[in-house]
Amino acid sequence: MDINASIIDQRVTGLAETLAERATAELGVSRDETRLKSLAFVYLCVKSLLDLEDDDAFDALTEGGGDFGIDAFHVSEVVDGEFTVTLFQAKYKKRLDGQSNFPATAIKTAIEALRHMLDPGAKLAHINDRLRARVEDTRSLIREGYIPFVRVIACNNGLSWNAEGQEAIDAFGLQDRVSFEHCNHDTLVGLQLNSRPVDEKLNLAGKSIVEDLNYSRVLVGRMQVEAIADLIARHGERLLERNIRRYLGLHRNRVNEDIQHTLESEDRSNFYFYNNGITMTCDDFTFNAFQKEDLTVNVKNLQIINGGQTAMTIARTLSQRTIHNEAPASVMVRLYKLPSENDDLVRRITYATNSQNPVDLRDLRANEAMQQRLELDIDQLGYTYRRKRSDASARHTDISSGTAAEAVLAVWRRRPHQARYFSREHFGKLYDVIFTDDLTGAQVIVAVLLYRIAENRRKRPHESDPAFVRYASCFAAMQMGQSLLRDLGNPPTITHQNFTSAVEHIERQGDTYFENAIEDIERALTLLYGKRDISLQQLAATFRRADLIEHLTATS
Protein backbone atom coordinates (compact mmCIF):
# COMPACT_ATOMS: atom_id res chain seq x y z
CA MET A 1 0.00 0.00 0.00
CA ASP A 2 1.28 3.47 -0.93
CA ILE A 3 1.28 5.67 2.20
CA ASN A 4 0.28 8.85 0.35
CA ALA A 5 -2.51 6.98 -1.46
CA SER A 6 -3.73 5.77 1.94
CA ILE A 7 -3.69 9.30 3.38
CA ILE A 8 -5.75 10.63 0.48
CA ASP A 9 -8.15 7.66 0.66
CA GLN A 10 -8.93 8.53 4.28
CA ARG A 11 -9.59 12.14 3.27
CA VAL A 12 -11.75 11.06 0.33
CA THR A 13 -13.79 8.70 2.51
CA GLY A 14 -14.62 11.52 4.92
CA LEU A 15 -15.47 13.90 2.10
CA ALA A 16 -17.76 11.32 0.48
CA GLU A 17 -19.88 11.23 3.63
CA THR A 18 -19.93 15.02 3.89
CA LEU A 19 -20.89 15.55 0.24
CA ALA A 20 -23.38 12.71 -0.13
CA GLU A 21 -26.60 14.68 0.43
CA ARG A 22 -25.55 17.60 -1.75
CA ALA A 23 -24.27 15.31 -4.51
CA THR A 24 -27.64 13.58 -4.65
CA ALA A 25 -29.62 16.84 -4.64
CA GLU A 26 -27.54 18.87 -7.12
CA LEU A 27 -25.85 16.28 -9.33
CA GLY A 28 -28.23 13.35 -9.13
CA VAL A 29 -25.37 11.09 -8.01
CA SER A 30 -26.55 7.91 -6.28
CA ARG A 31 -25.39 7.10 -2.78
CA ASP A 32 -23.27 4.26 -4.08
CA GLU A 33 -20.00 4.28 -2.12
CA THR A 34 -17.77 3.92 -5.19
CA ARG A 35 -19.42 6.82 -7.05
CA LEU A 36 -19.38 9.06 -4.00
CA LYS A 37 -15.68 8.41 -3.40
CA SER A 38 -14.93 9.16 -7.04
CA LEU A 39 -16.88 12.43 -6.76
CA ALA A 40 -15.14 13.32 -3.50
CA PHE A 41 -11.76 12.73 -5.14
CA VAL A 42 -12.61 15.10 -8.01
CA TYR A 43 -13.83 17.68 -5.49
CA LEU A 44 -10.58 17.41 -3.53
CA CYS A 45 -8.50 17.84 -6.69
CA VAL A 46 -10.49 20.90 -7.81
CA LYS A 47 -10.37 22.53 -4.38
CA SER A 48 -6.65 21.85 -3.89
CA LEU A 49 -5.32 22.71 -7.35
CA LEU A 50 -7.46 25.80 -7.95
CA ASP A 51 -7.43 26.96 -4.30
CA LEU A 52 -11.22 27.42 -4.24
CA GLU A 53 -13.72 27.82 -1.43
CA ASP A 54 -15.92 24.78 -0.67
CA ASP A 55 -18.97 26.05 -2.57
CA ASP A 56 -16.95 27.18 -5.59
CA ALA A 57 -15.18 23.81 -5.79
CA PHE A 58 -18.47 21.91 -5.65
CA ASP A 59 -20.02 24.28 -8.18
CA ALA A 60 -17.31 23.28 -10.69
CA LEU A 61 -18.35 19.60 -10.57
CA THR A 62 -20.20 18.29 -13.62
CA GLU A 63 -20.05 14.54 -13.03
CA GLY A 64 -23.22 12.71 -13.95
CA GLY A 65 -25.04 11.56 -17.07
CA GLY A 66 -24.18 13.42 -20.26
CA ASP A 67 -20.93 14.86 -18.94
CA PHE A 68 -18.74 14.10 -22.01
CA GLY A 69 -16.36 12.33 -19.63
CA ILE A 70 -15.62 15.67 -17.92
CA ASP A 71 -15.92 15.51 -14.13
CA ALA A 72 -15.34 19.21 -13.41
CA PHE A 73 -15.27 22.36 -15.50
CA HIS A 74 -13.89 25.70 -14.29
CA VAL A 75 -13.54 28.99 -16.15
CA SER A 76 -11.30 31.79 -14.89
CA GLU A 77 -11.98 35.48 -15.27
CA VAL A 78 -10.82 37.27 -18.39
CA VAL A 79 -7.43 38.98 -17.96
CA ASP A 80 -5.83 40.93 -20.81
CA GLY A 81 -8.26 39.39 -23.29
CA GLU A 82 -7.44 35.81 -22.24
CA PHE A 83 -9.00 33.26 -19.89
CA THR A 84 -8.27 29.76 -18.66
CA VAL A 85 -10.58 26.77 -18.94
CA THR A 86 -9.66 23.91 -16.61
CA LEU A 87 -11.15 20.47 -17.25
CA PHE A 88 -10.81 17.68 -14.70
CA GLN A 89 -11.09 14.02 -15.53
CA ALA A 90 -10.67 11.63 -12.62
CA LYS A 91 -10.18 7.88 -12.23
CA TYR A 92 -10.16 6.64 -8.64
CA LYS A 93 -9.14 3.06 -7.84
CA LYS A 94 -10.00 0.96 -4.80
CA ARG A 95 -6.48 -0.48 -4.91
CA LEU A 96 -4.10 1.80 -3.02
CA ASP A 97 -0.79 0.56 -4.42
CA GLY A 98 -0.52 3.65 -6.63
CA GLN A 99 0.67 1.62 -9.63
CA SER A 100 -2.19 1.98 -12.14
CA ASN A 101 -1.70 4.32 -15.11
CA PHE A 102 -4.26 6.94 -16.01
CA PRO A 103 -6.17 5.29 -18.90
CA ALA A 104 -5.24 6.32 -22.41
CA THR A 105 -8.90 5.93 -23.37
CA ALA A 106 -9.79 8.69 -20.89
CA ILE A 107 -7.21 10.98 -22.49
CA LYS A 108 -8.79 10.34 -25.88
CA THR A 109 -12.25 11.05 -24.46
CA ALA A 110 -11.05 14.39 -23.08
CA ILE A 111 -9.54 15.31 -26.46
CA GLU A 112 -12.80 14.48 -28.22
CA ALA A 113 -14.73 16.60 -25.69
CA LEU A 114 -12.39 19.52 -26.36
CA ARG A 115 -13.00 19.35 -30.10
CA HIS A 116 -16.72 19.86 -29.55
CA MET A 117 -16.95 22.01 -26.44
CA LEU A 118 -14.79 24.92 -27.53
CA ASP A 119 -16.18 25.21 -31.04
CA PRO A 120 -18.96 27.84 -30.71
CA GLY A 121 -20.75 26.46 -33.74
CA ALA A 122 -20.72 22.76 -32.83
CA LYS A 123 -23.97 21.17 -31.67
CA LEU A 124 -23.96 19.43 -28.31
CA ALA A 125 -26.36 16.53 -27.92
CA HIS A 126 -26.82 14.41 -24.81
CA ILE A 127 -25.09 16.84 -22.46
CA ASN A 128 -26.43 17.61 -18.98
CA ASP A 129 -27.80 21.09 -18.28
CA ARG A 130 -25.20 21.89 -15.64
CA LEU A 131 -22.31 21.30 -18.03
CA ARG A 132 -24.14 22.85 -21.00
CA ALA A 133 -24.50 26.15 -19.10
CA ARG A 134 -20.74 26.25 -18.47
CA VAL A 135 -19.85 25.31 -22.01
CA GLU A 136 -22.14 27.90 -23.58
CA ASP A 137 -20.79 30.56 -21.23
CA THR A 138 -17.28 29.67 -22.41
CA ARG A 139 -18.33 29.66 -26.05
CA SER A 140 -19.88 33.12 -25.67
CA LEU A 141 -16.51 34.41 -24.45
CA ILE A 142 -14.81 32.87 -27.48
CA ARG A 143 -17.39 34.44 -29.82
CA GLU A 144 -16.63 37.83 -28.25
CA GLY A 145 -12.99 37.43 -29.20
CA TYR A 146 -11.46 36.36 -25.90
CA ILE A 147 -8.71 33.77 -26.22
CA PRO A 148 -8.88 30.56 -24.15
CA PHE A 149 -6.04 28.59 -22.63
CA VAL A 150 -7.12 25.06 -21.73
CA ARG A 151 -5.74 22.86 -18.98
CA VAL A 152 -6.78 19.23 -18.88
CA ILE A 153 -6.03 17.78 -15.45
CA ALA A 154 -5.91 13.99 -15.40
CA CYS A 155 -6.44 12.94 -11.78
CA ASN A 156 -5.99 9.49 -10.28
CA ASN A 157 -4.46 7.71 -7.31
CA GLY A 158 -1.82 6.11 -9.47
CA LEU A 159 0.66 6.85 -12.23
CA SER A 160 0.44 9.24 -15.19
CA TRP A 161 -0.79 8.16 -18.63
CA ASN A 162 1.28 5.72 -20.68
CA ALA A 163 2.89 6.07 -24.11
CA GLU A 164 -0.44 5.51 -25.89
CA GLY A 165 -1.98 8.43 -23.98
CA GLN A 166 1.00 10.65 -24.82
CA GLU A 167 0.73 9.74 -28.50
CA ALA A 168 -2.91 10.87 -28.47
CA ILE A 169 -1.90 14.18 -26.89
CA ASP A 170 0.91 14.73 -29.41
CA ALA A 171 -1.42 13.95 -32.30
CA PHE A 172 -4.01 16.44 -31.02
CA GLY A 173 -1.55 19.33 -31.27
CA LEU A 174 -2.43 22.84 -30.02
CA GLN A 175 0.32 22.56 -27.39
CA ASP A 176 0.53 26.35 -27.34
CA ARG A 177 -3.09 26.60 -26.15
CA VAL A 178 -3.83 23.26 -24.47
CA SER A 179 -1.83 21.60 -21.71
CA PHE A 180 -2.31 18.15 -20.21
CA GLU A 181 -1.25 17.75 -16.59
CA HIS A 182 -1.30 14.86 -14.13
CA CYS A 183 -2.42 15.04 -10.51
CA ASN A 184 -2.31 12.13 -8.10
CA HIS A 185 -2.13 11.33 -4.38
CA ASP A 186 1.48 12.52 -4.20
CA THR A 187 0.49 15.90 -5.69
CA LEU A 188 -2.35 16.36 -3.19
CA VAL A 189 -0.30 15.37 -0.17
CA GLY A 190 2.44 17.74 -1.28
CA LEU A 191 -0.06 20.62 -1.42
CA GLN A 192 -1.54 19.79 1.97
CA LEU A 193 1.68 19.36 3.95
CA ASN A 194 2.11 21.88 6.71
CA SER A 195 4.65 24.55 5.90
CA ARG A 196 8.06 24.23 7.49
CA PRO A 197 10.55 27.13 7.58
CA VAL A 198 12.85 27.21 4.57
CA ASP A 199 16.47 27.79 5.57
CA GLU A 200 18.62 28.11 2.46
CA LYS A 201 21.81 29.35 0.86
CA LEU A 202 21.30 31.77 -2.01
CA ASN A 203 24.10 31.89 -4.57
CA LEU A 204 24.16 35.39 -6.05
CA ALA A 205 25.90 36.45 -9.24
CA GLY A 206 27.98 39.62 -9.56
CA LYS A 207 27.83 42.54 -7.13
CA SER A 208 25.09 43.08 -4.59
CA ILE A 209 23.88 46.01 -2.49
CA VAL A 210 23.16 45.57 1.22
CA GLU A 211 21.70 48.34 3.36
CA ASP A 212 20.18 48.72 6.83
CA LEU A 213 16.88 50.58 6.63
CA ASN A 214 14.29 51.38 9.34
CA TYR A 215 15.41 48.60 11.67
CA SER A 216 15.32 46.12 8.81
CA ARG A 217 17.90 44.96 6.29
CA VAL A 218 17.73 44.97 2.50
CA LEU A 219 19.78 43.06 -0.07
CA VAL A 220 19.43 43.70 -3.81
CA GLY A 221 21.28 41.33 -6.12
CA ARG A 222 21.07 38.97 -9.05
CA MET A 223 20.65 35.21 -9.35
CA GLN A 224 21.12 32.91 -12.31
CA VAL A 225 17.84 31.34 -13.46
CA GLU A 226 19.32 27.89 -12.85
CA ALA A 227 19.76 28.79 -9.17
CA ILE A 228 16.11 29.88 -8.99
CA ALA A 229 15.02 26.60 -10.60
CA ASP A 230 17.09 24.59 -8.10
CA LEU A 231 15.49 26.54 -5.24
CA ILE A 232 11.98 25.74 -6.47
CA ALA A 233 12.92 22.10 -7.13
CA ARG A 234 14.02 21.69 -3.51
CA HIS A 235 11.18 23.54 -1.79
CA GLY A 236 8.34 24.16 -4.26
CA GLU A 237 5.13 25.60 -2.80
CA ARG A 238 6.67 25.96 0.67
CA LEU A 239 8.42 29.07 -0.61
CA LEU A 240 5.08 30.64 -1.58
CA GLU A 241 3.11 30.38 1.67
CA ARG A 242 2.95 34.16 2.01
CA ASN A 243 2.52 34.81 -1.70
CA ILE A 244 -1.05 35.77 -2.61
CA ARG A 245 -0.52 34.21 -6.05
CA ARG A 246 0.33 30.88 -4.47
CA TYR A 247 -1.49 28.51 -6.80
CA LEU A 248 -1.67 30.81 -9.80
CA GLY A 249 1.66 29.48 -11.01
CA LEU A 250 -0.25 26.36 -12.06
CA HIS A 251 -2.36 28.41 -14.48
CA ARG A 252 -1.14 29.18 -17.96
CA ASN A 253 -1.36 32.84 -18.91
CA ARG A 254 0.25 35.34 -21.22
CA VAL A 255 2.83 36.55 -18.69
CA ASN A 256 4.05 33.02 -18.01
CA GLU A 257 4.12 32.30 -21.73
CA ASP A 258 6.28 35.39 -22.31
CA ILE A 259 8.68 34.34 -19.55
CA GLN A 260 9.03 30.90 -21.07
CA HIS A 261 9.48 32.29 -24.59
CA THR A 262 12.29 34.64 -23.50
CA LEU A 263 14.14 31.84 -21.70
CA GLU A 264 13.95 29.67 -24.82
CA SER A 265 14.82 32.42 -27.32
CA GLU A 266 18.01 33.96 -28.67
CA ASP A 267 17.24 36.95 -26.41
CA ARG A 268 17.77 34.84 -23.27
CA SER A 269 20.72 36.86 -22.01
CA ASN A 270 18.46 39.94 -21.70
CA PHE A 271 15.98 38.19 -19.39
CA TYR A 272 17.17 40.33 -16.45
CA PHE A 273 15.99 43.51 -18.19
CA TYR A 274 12.57 42.13 -19.20
CA ASN A 275 11.49 40.83 -15.79
CA ASN A 276 10.43 42.74 -12.66
CA GLY A 277 12.37 40.35 -10.45
CA ILE A 278 11.61 38.30 -7.35
CA THR A 279 10.96 39.75 -3.88
CA MET A 280 11.72 37.61 -0.83
CA THR A 281 11.47 38.03 2.93
CA CYS A 282 13.31 36.26 5.71
CA ASP A 283 13.91 36.37 9.45
CA ASP A 284 17.66 36.86 9.01
CA PHE A 285 20.46 36.59 6.48
CA THR A 286 24.26 36.52 6.77
CA PHE A 287 27.16 36.52 4.33
CA ASN A 288 30.91 37.12 4.16
CA ALA A 289 31.17 40.93 4.33
CA PHE A 290 34.76 40.80 3.00
CA GLN A 291 33.61 39.22 -0.26
CA LYS A 292 33.08 41.74 -3.06
CA GLU A 293 30.81 39.74 -5.41
CA ASP A 294 29.23 36.33 -6.09
CA LEU A 295 27.96 36.20 -2.51
CA THR A 296 26.68 33.08 -0.79
CA VAL A 297 23.89 34.28 1.52
CA ASN A 298 22.65 32.12 4.42
CA VAL A 299 18.93 32.78 4.87
CA LYS A 300 16.50 31.79 7.63
CA ASN A 301 12.78 31.30 6.91
CA LEU A 302 12.88 32.33 3.27
CA GLN A 303 9.61 33.25 1.53
CA ILE A 304 8.81 34.57 -1.96
CA ILE A 305 6.16 37.28 -1.62
CA ASN A 306 6.27 38.58 -5.19
CA GLY A 307 7.53 36.89 -8.34
CA GLY A 308 6.18 33.44 -7.50
CA GLN A 309 4.88 33.01 -11.04
CA THR A 310 8.29 34.01 -12.40
CA ALA A 311 10.06 31.50 -10.16
CA MET A 312 7.64 28.66 -10.93
CA THR A 313 7.75 29.32 -14.68
CA ILE A 314 11.56 29.43 -14.67
CA ALA A 315 11.63 26.08 -12.86
CA ARG A 316 9.10 24.49 -15.20
CA THR A 317 10.76 25.82 -18.36
CA LEU A 318 14.22 24.61 -17.36
CA SER A 319 12.86 21.20 -16.31
CA GLN A 320 11.42 20.68 -19.81
CA ARG A 321 14.95 20.90 -21.20
CA THR A 322 13.79 22.47 -24.48
CA ILE A 323 16.27 25.35 -24.27
CA HIS A 324 18.89 25.32 -27.02
CA ASN A 325 20.43 28.71 -26.28
CA GLU A 326 22.91 28.24 -23.42
CA ALA A 327 23.57 31.97 -22.89
CA PRO A 328 23.52 32.89 -19.17
CA ALA A 329 20.24 34.36 -17.91
CA SER A 330 19.67 36.00 -14.56
CA VAL A 331 16.91 37.70 -12.59
CA MET A 332 16.95 40.51 -10.02
CA VAL A 333 16.22 39.49 -6.42
CA ARG A 334 15.29 41.66 -3.45
CA LEU A 335 15.71 40.14 0.00
CA TYR A 336 14.17 41.84 3.04
CA LYS A 337 15.10 40.83 6.57
CA LEU A 338 11.85 41.25 8.53
CA PRO A 339 11.21 39.80 12.01
CA SER A 340 8.77 36.88 11.88
CA GLU A 341 6.44 38.56 14.37
CA ASN A 342 6.04 41.61 12.11
CA ASP A 343 3.29 40.05 9.97
CA ASP A 344 1.56 43.38 9.37
CA LEU A 345 4.64 44.84 7.65
CA VAL A 346 4.98 41.66 5.57
CA ARG A 347 1.31 41.97 4.59
CA ARG A 348 1.68 45.60 3.55
CA ILE A 349 4.83 44.91 1.52
CA THR A 350 3.16 41.94 -0.16
CA TYR A 351 0.13 44.07 -1.01
CA ALA A 352 2.25 46.91 -2.38
CA THR A 353 4.41 44.67 -4.55
CA ASN A 354 1.43 42.77 -5.96
CA SER A 355 -1.31 45.39 -6.23
CA GLN A 356 -0.29 46.62 -9.68
CA ASN A 357 -1.72 43.42 -11.09
CA PRO A 358 -5.28 42.04 -10.69
CA VAL A 359 -4.85 39.28 -8.09
CA ASP A 360 -6.89 37.97 -5.19
CA LEU A 361 -6.09 40.42 -2.39
CA ARG A 362 -8.67 39.05 0.04
CA ASP A 363 -6.21 37.64 2.56
CA LEU A 364 -4.17 40.83 2.53
CA ARG A 365 -7.25 42.94 3.26
CA ALA A 366 -8.30 40.63 6.07
CA ASN A 367 -6.61 42.57 8.87
CA GLU A 368 -7.81 46.01 7.82
CA ALA A 369 -9.95 47.96 10.28
CA MET A 370 -13.04 47.72 8.05
CA GLN A 371 -12.86 43.93 7.92
CA GLN A 372 -12.33 43.66 11.65
CA ARG A 373 -15.26 45.99 12.33
CA LEU A 374 -17.53 43.91 10.11
CA GLU A 375 -16.43 40.76 11.91
CA LEU A 376 -17.45 42.27 15.27
CA ASP A 377 -20.71 43.71 13.93
CA ILE A 378 -21.73 40.46 12.22
CA ASP A 379 -20.81 38.39 15.28
CA GLN A 380 -23.18 40.45 17.43
CA LEU A 381 -26.02 39.53 15.07
CA GLY A 382 -25.42 35.79 15.46
CA TYR A 383 -23.30 35.11 12.37
CA THR A 384 -19.58 34.50 11.84
CA TYR A 385 -17.59 36.58 9.35
CA ARG A 386 -14.63 34.68 7.92
CA ARG A 387 -12.13 37.38 7.01
CA LYS A 388 -9.53 34.84 5.90
CA ARG A 389 -9.87 31.72 3.83
CA SER A 390 -10.03 28.53 5.85
CA ASP A 391 -9.97 24.79 5.17
CA ALA A 392 -12.61 24.24 7.86
CA SER A 393 -16.09 23.30 6.66
CA ALA A 394 -18.42 26.29 6.59
CA ARG A 395 -21.61 26.37 8.69
CA HIS A 396 -24.80 28.03 7.50
CA THR A 397 -24.11 30.94 9.86
CA ASP A 398 -20.64 31.49 8.37
CA ILE A 399 -20.15 34.26 5.83
CA SER A 400 -16.88 34.45 3.94
CA SER A 401 -15.52 37.84 2.95
CA GLY A 402 -15.58 36.75 -0.70
CA THR A 403 -19.28 35.88 -0.59
CA ALA A 404 -20.01 39.10 1.30
CA ALA A 405 -18.25 41.18 -1.36
CA GLU A 406 -20.16 39.53 -4.21
CA ALA A 407 -23.51 39.82 -2.43
CA VAL A 408 -23.10 43.46 -1.37
CA LEU A 409 -21.89 44.50 -4.83
CA ALA A 410 -24.92 42.84 -6.44
CA VAL A 411 -27.68 43.71 -3.95
CA TRP A 412 -26.81 47.14 -2.55
CA ARG A 413 -24.34 48.57 -5.07
CA ARG A 414 -26.48 47.37 -8.03
CA ARG A 415 -23.52 46.07 -10.01
CA PRO A 416 -24.54 42.42 -10.52
CA HIS A 417 -22.38 41.92 -13.62
CA GLN A 418 -19.28 43.01 -11.68
CA ALA A 419 -20.32 40.90 -8.72
CA ARG A 420 -20.33 37.73 -10.81
CA TYR A 421 -17.58 38.31 -13.33
CA PHE A 422 -15.11 40.69 -11.66
CA SER A 423 -14.36 38.79 -8.45
CA ARG A 424 -10.62 39.31 -8.95
CA GLU A 425 -11.25 43.03 -8.40
CA HIS A 426 -13.54 42.77 -5.36
CA PHE A 427 -10.61 43.30 -3.02
CA GLY A 428 -8.71 45.47 -5.49
CA LYS A 429 -10.20 48.22 -7.65
CA LEU A 430 -13.77 47.61 -6.44
CA TYR A 431 -12.90 47.34 -2.75
CA ASP A 432 -13.84 50.92 -1.85
CA VAL A 433 -17.08 50.62 -3.84
CA ILE A 434 -18.12 47.54 -1.86
CA PHE A 435 -16.73 48.17 1.61
CA THR A 436 -17.80 51.76 2.20
CA ASP A 437 -17.49 53.36 5.63
CA ASP A 438 -21.25 53.13 6.21
CA LEU A 439 -21.54 49.42 5.35
CA THR A 440 -23.12 47.61 8.30
CA GLY A 441 -22.98 44.01 9.38
CA ALA A 442 -26.77 43.85 8.99
CA GLN A 443 -26.50 44.92 5.35
CA VAL A 444 -23.90 42.24 4.70
CA ILE A 445 -25.95 39.44 6.27
CA VAL A 446 -29.18 40.43 4.48
CA ALA A 447 -27.39 40.70 1.13
CA VAL A 448 -25.85 37.26 1.63
CA LEU A 449 -29.18 35.67 2.60
CA LEU A 450 -30.82 37.01 -0.55
CA TYR A 451 -27.82 36.03 -2.68
CA ARG A 452 -27.88 32.48 -1.30
CA ILE A 453 -31.52 32.01 -2.31
CA ALA A 454 -30.69 33.08 -5.86
CA GLU A 455 -27.52 30.97 -5.95
CA ASN A 456 -29.31 27.87 -4.70
CA ARG A 457 -31.85 28.25 -7.48
CA ARG A 458 -29.05 28.70 -10.02
CA LYS A 459 -27.49 25.46 -8.90
CA ARG A 460 -30.78 23.56 -8.58
CA PRO A 461 -33.22 25.20 -11.01
CA HIS A 462 -36.84 24.06 -11.11
CA GLU A 463 -38.11 22.41 -14.25
CA SER A 464 -40.29 25.42 -14.97
CA ASP A 465 -37.44 27.94 -14.59
CA PRO A 466 -36.30 29.79 -17.73
CA ALA A 467 -32.83 28.96 -19.07
CA PHE A 468 -31.33 32.28 -17.95
CA VAL A 469 -31.67 31.29 -14.27
CA ARG A 470 -28.26 29.58 -14.53
CA TYR A 471 -26.63 32.95 -15.31
CA ALA A 472 -28.79 35.49 -13.50
CA SER A 473 -28.37 34.88 -9.75
CA CYS A 474 -26.66 38.22 -9.05
CA PHE A 475 -29.25 40.12 -11.10
CA ALA A 476 -32.03 38.29 -9.25
CA ALA A 477 -30.45 39.07 -5.87
CA MET A 478 -30.34 42.76 -6.81
CA GLN A 479 -34.08 42.78 -7.59
CA MET A 480 -34.84 40.81 -4.42
CA GLY A 481 -33.11 43.50 -2.36
CA GLN A 482 -35.42 46.15 -3.81
CA SER A 483 -38.50 44.03 -3.02
CA LEU A 484 -37.34 43.60 0.55
CA LEU A 485 -36.80 47.33 1.05
CA ARG A 486 -40.31 48.04 -0.24
CA ASP A 487 -41.79 45.55 2.23
CA LEU A 488 -39.83 47.19 5.04
CA GLY A 489 -41.27 50.60 4.17
CA ASN A 490 -38.27 51.80 2.11
CA PRO A 491 -35.88 52.50 5.00
CA PRO A 492 -32.68 54.39 4.06
CA THR A 493 -30.63 51.30 4.92
CA ILE A 494 -30.57 48.01 6.81
CA THR A 495 -29.28 48.35 10.38
CA HIS A 496 -29.38 46.31 13.57
CA GLN A 497 -32.71 48.02 14.35
CA ASN A 498 -34.62 46.56 11.40
CA PHE A 499 -32.38 43.51 10.92
CA THR A 500 -34.69 41.03 12.66
CA SER A 501 -37.67 42.22 10.62
CA ALA A 502 -35.64 41.94 7.41
CA VAL A 503 -34.61 38.35 8.19
CA GLU A 504 -38.21 37.42 9.00
CA HIS A 505 -39.37 38.84 5.65
CA ILE A 506 -36.67 36.84 3.83
CA GLU A 507 -37.66 33.63 5.63
CA ARG A 508 -41.34 34.12 4.75
CA GLN A 509 -41.07 35.78 1.37
CA GLY A 510 -37.66 34.77 0.01
CA ASP A 511 -38.98 32.42 -2.68
CA THR A 512 -41.60 34.97 -3.70
CA TYR A 513 -38.94 37.65 -3.98
CA PHE A 514 -36.98 35.34 -6.28
CA GLU A 515 -40.00 34.53 -8.47
CA ASN A 516 -40.78 38.24 -8.81
CA ALA A 517 -37.14 38.94 -9.69
CA ILE A 518 -37.24 36.32 -12.44
CA GLU A 519 -40.37 37.94 -13.87
CA ASP A 520 -38.60 41.33 -13.81
CA ILE A 521 -35.61 39.89 -15.64
CA GLU A 522 -37.85 38.18 -18.21
CA ARG A 523 -39.58 41.49 -18.97
CA ALA A 524 -36.22 43.28 -19.18
CA LEU A 525 -34.91 40.70 -21.64
CA THR A 526 -38.00 41.24 -23.78
CA LEU A 527 -37.36 45.00 -23.75
CA LEU A 528 -33.76 44.33 -24.77
CA TYR A 529 -34.26 41.62 -27.43
CA GLY A 530 -37.94 41.53 -28.27
CA LYS A 531 -39.83 38.25 -28.20
CA ARG A 532 -37.38 36.23 -30.27
CA ASP A 533 -35.56 33.18 -28.87
CA ILE A 534 -32.25 33.91 -27.17
CA SER A 535 -29.47 31.30 -27.30
CA LEU A 536 -27.60 30.25 -24.18
CA GLN A 537 -24.45 31.83 -25.56
CA GLN A 538 -26.22 35.17 -25.98
CA LEU A 539 -27.78 34.90 -22.51
CA ALA A 540 -24.39 34.23 -20.95
CA ALA A 541 -22.96 37.30 -22.69
CA THR A 542 -25.94 39.46 -21.65
CA PHE A 543 -25.42 38.84 -17.93
CA ARG A 544 -21.77 39.83 -18.22
CA ARG A 545 -22.83 43.33 -19.28
CA ALA A 546 -24.58 46.26 -17.57
CA ASP A 547 -27.12 47.21 -20.26
CA LEU A 548 -29.77 44.92 -18.77
CA ILE A 549 -29.73 46.90 -15.50
CA GLU A 550 -31.30 49.93 -17.15
CA HIS A 551 -34.18 47.81 -18.45
CA LEU A 552 -34.60 46.20 -15.01
CA THR A 553 -34.96 49.65 -13.49
CA ALA A 554 -37.68 50.40 -16.02
CA THR A 555 -39.61 47.23 -15.10
CA SER A 556 -39.39 47.73 -11.32
SS (H, E, C) 334-365: EEEECCCCCHHHHHHHHHHHHCCCCCCCHHHH
pLDDT at residue number 247: 40
Q: What is the pLDDT of residue 224?
A: 93
Terminal CA-to-CA distance of the chain, rounded, Å? 63
Contact between residue 285 and residue 297 where contact means Cβ atoms under 8 Å apart: yes
Q: What is the pLDDT of residue 363?
A: 65
φ/ψ of 334, rounded to 5, equals -120, 125
pLDDT value at residue 251: 46
Phi, psi of 18 (to 5 degrees): -65, -40
Q: What is the pLDDT of residue 254?
A: 58
Half-sphere exposure of 314 (CA within 13 A, CB side): 26
The pLDDT score that the predictor gives to residue 245 is 39
Task: Look up the pTM and report it.
Answer: 0.73
The predicted structure's pLDDT at residue 125: 74
Q: Which domains does the chain have, with CATH numbers?
A: 3-192 (3.40.91), 200-358 (no CATH), 364-555 (no CATH)
Query: For each of the chain's 556 residues, which pLDDT tens digit applies?
Result: 789 999 999 999 999 999 998 888 888 888 888 889 999 999 999 998 887 888 889 999 987 777 778 999 999 888 777 888 999 999 999 888 888 999 999 999 888 888 888 788 778 777 888 888 899 999 999 988 888 888 899 999 999 999 999 999 988 876 668 889 999 999 888 777 645 678 899 999 999 998 877 667 889 999 999 999 998 888 877 777 654 434 443 345 556 667 777 888 888 888 888 888 898 888 889 998 888 889 999 998 888 888 887 888 888 888 876 666 678 899 999 998 875 555 565 556 655 555 444 344 676 677 788 999 999 999 999 999 998 766 566 688 999 999 999 999 999 999 999 999 888 888 888 999 999 999 999 999 999 999 999 999 998 898 899 999 999 999 999 999 999 999 999 998 899 999 999 999 999 999 999 999 999 999 999 988 888 888 888 999 999 988 889 888 755 5
What's the confidence (pLDDT) of residue 359? 41
CB 42 within 8 A of CB 61: yes
Cα–Cα distance for residue pair 327/338, rounded to 1 Å: 35
pLDDT for the residue 8:
93
Long-range contacts, 268-276 (Cβ 8 Å, 24+): 268/323, 268/325, 268/327, 268/329, 269/327, 269/328, 269/329, 271/225, 271/329, 271/330, 271/331, 272/222, 272/329, 272/330, 272/331, 272/332, 275/310, 275/331, 275/332, 276/307, 276/310, 276/332
pLDDT of 346 reads 57
